[in-house]
Amino acid sequence: MFSTATALVESDEDLLEKFDTEHLDLVKNRLNALELNSEQLGQLMKLLQFDLTEGLKSEQGVVRMLPTFVSSNKTIMKSQSITLDLGGTGFRVYLIDSTGKIIHDTLEKIPENVKRGTENLMSFIASSIKKFFMKYKLPLNSKMPLGFTFSYPCVHNGLTSASLIRWTKGFCVSSLFNNVIKSHSLLGGWF
């Protein structure tokens, strides 16, 4: 059996000289306990598949799952698009070309006060997008396809709308809780 961690420990001669053999053997033994053979990986895969399926059927599943609606896009994008990603600590804005290559991107740290109020959050998002457009000299009135990654637990009502179940990652914007989030109206009027 082979593990990356064991290979790293065994491959660096200089590192090995710094450890005494007792500690090195202890590290190797601990790493060996983490190695899985093909049969164990297959069993793990089956268990995970079962738990994911059960999570889609019931809220009591070990791994809670929510259905997500995705449709195939038969239209070939011939223009650039803007992609937004609201994470736990940062808000990213990307300009992406038609092949999926990132042309420009920025990351702004989300201040704690922004995580606590709707007006603050929406103003922060709008301001970040405006700064991005200005930094890269994009026309503020340009129309581009927009993608928005909102990685918080939601019940998906369809392809373009979802209802927030609860905030995670330190956010607590109570006025958006259980409200419908629609991709085409979320940022309307902010820039």
Q: What angle do CA 105, 170, 86 make, to 5 degrees?
A: 25
Residues 177 and 91 in one domain: yes
Residues 101 and 52 in one domain: no
Question: What is the predicted pLDDT for the residue at 148?
Answer: 83
> Which pTM value belongs to this model?
0.60
Residues 112 and 152 in one domain: yes
Question: What is the predicted pLDDT for the residue at 144?
Answer: 84
CATH number at residue 112: 3.30.420.40
Residue 74 lies inside a defined structural domain of this protein: no
Average pLDDT for residues 133-148, to the nearest whole number? 88
Question: What is the predicted pLDDT for the residue at 188?
Answer: 41
**Dihedral angle computed from the Cα positions of residues 84, 151, 111 and 191, in that order, rounded to the nearest 10 degrees:** 30
85-123 pLDDT, tens per residue? Answer: 998 889 999 999 988 899 999 999 998 888 877 668 888
Residues 87 and 178 in one domain: yes
Residue 111 lies inside a defined structural domain of this protein: yes
Report how far residue 96's alpha carbon sits from residue 93's, in angstroms, rounded to the nearest whole number.
10
User: 31: domain range?
Assistant: 4-57
163-179 pLDDT, tens per residue? Answer: 788 888 888 877 665 55
Residue 148 lies inside a defined structural domain of this protein: yes
Residues 125 and 85 in one domain: yes
Residue 136 lies inside a defined structural domain of this protein: yes
Residues 105 and 171 in one domain: yes
How many folded domains does the chain comprise?
A: 2
